[in-house]
Structure 1
Amino acid sequence: MATNTVTDEYPEIALTRRDGLKLAGLGIASVAALGMGVGGVRAVTNGAFSAGSGDPYDLWHDWHSMTGIERVVAAGALACNPHNTQPWRMIVDGDVIVVHSDPSRRMPINDASGREHLAGLGCAVENMVIAAGAAGSTSQVTLFPHGLASDHVARIGLRKDRPRQDRDLAAAIPHRHTNRGPYTSAPVDLSDFAEQSLRVDGASVLWITDKAAREKLGRLYVEATEAITADTAQSTEAFSWFRSSRGSIDKYRDGLTLDAQGLGDLALFAAKLLPAQSREDGDAYWVKATREVHTATAAAYGVIVVDDVTDRSAQVNGGRLLARMHLTATALGLGLHHMNQITERIDRDAASGNPDVFSARWAALLGRPASTGLLSFRIGHPERTPGLSPRRSLDDVVTS
């Protein structure tokens, strides 16, 4: 399995404001002409003409044609998960699926408490429950059958004995992608999420819709993003999961990519045309996008809340509910964007022994202790179709 280390081989590309204005001024025809020269080589190298196609994306396209337990396991491999680390290893034994944590896919600096890692595993568990239910199977889920300290996170026993359910959510599985682009100003009817909010024990959703509260939360997100990018260790670890070139996508088949950043078509093509830029430039782009796009266009924020964010079972259950929220949004044609900068900074400061500068304000916005706010996201009507994220093959993550 490929390790994730920071090298100069696959540096991040970030479209700066100046570059974007220059290329926008040229117009699409001029940019295309520029792509025929040296920039064209860069465009090919960075996947400008192959986005969403090839081996790293086959699972998205092939899921419809799969059947049986292979389809169920593939649903787990297509689940949402923070930073697209794909933290799972799965074993199939007849009608039983065993889900293990892969410790090599931890992000110990950005995810110091492990909440995102285990939540990602919970997302995989729930995707499989949903896919199995749509095929008429009952799923008996047992969390941490060998104790909370174990990497054996879940056992899913399948029994085909019930009417099909969750078919709308299952149909959304191959269409669910994180949408980091701008959203329209149209409000979101959150009543469509009410039923799903009750489907996972031990986790619920707190919605933040009031304009003043959204603005306060938006400012806190920006501040947390600035704190992450100012923390060299945290920024560097996050950068190690960015796959800017097609070569790195084909090699790792995980992480974040330019196609998933929510850029417009011209800006995305231009970003792939430009020479590779630095981690610092990428951080500057992220802060700017958080301020001017992500928080500026959020119709609402959702926070997955549990009794105790340090409880490993609660972390998994929170991820299970998050998967249902994301699939529901997809089925409704809504965009959903995971935004965990605030909790990442809370955990980072706690692990480093630094002053806690976010918990009190996070708690004030939640109206409950910071220790209950597990994960968060924004939601809205998207202006753009999100790009596909790369995925490892089932051969890479499943044994039988």
Structure 2
Amino acid sequence: MTTQLSRRSALKLAGAGIGSVAVGATALRAGTNGVFRAGSGDPYDLWHDWAGMSGVDRVVGAGVLACNPHNTQPWRIAVSGGVIDVHSDPARRMPCNDASGREHFAGLGCAVENMAIAAGPAGFTPAVSLFPDGTGSDLVARIVLAPGGSSRDRELADAIPRRHTNRGPYTKAPVDVSRLPAGIDGADVRWVTDRDRLGDLYVEATEAIVADDEQSAEAFSWFRSDRGDVDEHRDGLTLDGQGLGGLTLFAAKMLPAQSRADGDAFWVKATREVHTATAAAYGVITVDDVTDRAAQVTGGRLLARMHLAATALGLGFHHMNQITERIDRDRATGGPDTFSGRWGAILGRPASTGLVSFRIGHPERTAGLSPRRRLADVTTG
């Protein structure tokens, strides 16, 4: 007898932490859906090739490998000799899930910081200026590379090709947050002590996002459900990046792609039963004003540094911005603001200072690689 299993069922099992599923004739999808090529092939080559790169290409490559919300890869990069201009790509904005643009510009800040970190060990001294043409310009940052490197950030630079978002379960082992960066000029990290209350708020915000048809549809449009989508787009979220157990991931890839409703249900379940249930600690990047473009980029620079430092320590790191996405969405639509008050109470400071947030812990599983666009596709000059 052949046992039939929908991808929805596989993902439900994954959300409950069950990694063994039965599969039948749907195994025919394995070859075409990348079951045996996870993390390999052209969309992943930069992760494997970066360590062997040198010069300006190595610095730019570090920027393309930077963490960024939803893996939208929001950058366009112009290179002229030792000058790197990092531009915002407005086509990669998510106006429903990121109404204020905070995640978009924080992601650009992540790219800037990755390049600044990589520059020293690559033999350069970087000078970074934000919005040299003003905050109304798409030119977010200019990085001028002068000869003369430094080994100061070598440990963080070495972590660049190993840094991945880990959405899987974490162990119960505590995390010594004192070993992580406390902040940079213009941005700080605030560690949340009331984890239960924050976890409940994350779940509630996730439920609100999936109940909002426009937010749900926009988020789902960035999910690459099979290898063909990955090869075509080279961005977005993938099954490999969901933190599934090996057999569950194998089954999910062989089965027909889940619907948006199924994906939303899985996300809520995973948020409740994996992400918030196993977080060892929550951190929030805080700035003076989350609507200020320069502050958004600066906060992103700290976010990148935090993620690389966590990677160097062997910690899992997972960006979780559902609460702030709902705050911005309610403000943009004129709906009731149901999250700012509680967000501010958890932070112990105004909600307008909490830019982006994350969970960390000791991961039970190795994080999957995310696809990346080619340098030639994002750079000019």
Q: Smaller-chain TM-score range?
A: over 0.9
Alignment: residue pair count: 374
CA contact (8 A) 2:125 2:150 kept: no
Residue equivalent to 2:145: 158
- Within 5 Å, which residues of 2 pair with 1:238-387? 238-387=219-368
TM-score, scaled relative to structure 1: 0.91
Question: Which residue in the other structure is 1:88 paired with?
Answer: 75
Which of residues 84, 101, 104 in structure 2 aligns to 1:114?
101
1:13, distance to aligned residue in structure 2 (A): 5.5
Mapped partners of 2:223, 2:143: distance in 1:
32
- 2:127 and 2:11 map into 1 onto residues whose CA distance is 51
When residues 355 and 40 of structure 1 are mapped into structure 2, their CA distance, relative to the original with a 3 A threshold, is same
Q: Give the match for residue 5 of structure 1.
A: none
1:207 maps to which of 170, 186, 191:
191
1:335, distance to aligned residue in structure 2 (A) = 0.2
Deviations 1:260-307 (A, max 9, x none): 000000110111122222100110000000000000000000000000
Q: Please give the residue correspondences for 1:94-109 in structure 2 after superposition, counting only pairs within 5 Å.
A: 94-109=81-96
Shift of 1:165: 1.6
* Equivalent pair of 1:137/1:164 in contact (CA under 8 Å): no
8 A contact 2:73–2:107 mirrored in 1: yes
Amino acid in the other structure paired with 1:197: A
Give, as a single letter, the amino acid of the residue that structure 2 aligns with 1:190: V
Give me the whole-angstrom Cα distance separating, in 1, the residues matched to 2:245 and 2:165. Answer: 15
Q: What's the C-alpha RMSD, in Å, of the aligned pairs?
A: 1.7
1:124-177: per-residue Cα shift (whole Å, max 9, x none)?
000000000222422111111111110000000011224322000000000000
Deviations 1:167-205 (A, max 9, x none): 000000000000000000000011111xx334x310000
In structure 1, give the amino acid aligned to 2:298.
N
How far apart, CA to CA, are the structure 2 residues paired with 1:281 and 1:81? 25
Q: Specify the SS of the correspondent of 2:363.
A: coil
Which runs of structure 2 are paired with 1:124-135 in the superposition (5 Å)?
124-135=111-122
The one-letter code of the counterpart of 2:346 is: L
Identical columns (%): 71
CA distance in 2, matches of 1:183, 1:339: 15
| Equivalent position SS for 2:294 | helix
List 4+ stretches of structure 1 deviating above 4 A: 12-21
Change (3 A) 1:18 1:120: closer
The normalised TM-score by structure 2 is 0.95
Instruction: Name the SS of the counterpart of 1:296 in structure 2.
Output: helix
1:378 aligns to what SS in structure 2? strand
Whether the aligned pair in 1 keeps the contact of 2:283 and 2:358 (CA below 8 Å) is: yes
Q: How far apart are the structure 2 equivalents of 1:69 and 1:15?
A: 47
Shift of 1:14: 4.4
Amino acid of the residue matched to residue 375 of structure 2? L
2:42 aligned with 1:70:
no
Aligned residue number for residue 222 of structure 1: 203
SS in 1 for 2:40: coil
CA shift in 2, pair 1:73/1:108, >3 Å:
same
Once residues 55 and 93 of structure 1 are traced to their aligned partners in structure 2, the CA distance between those partners, rounded to angstroms, is 26
Offset, 1:44: 2.3
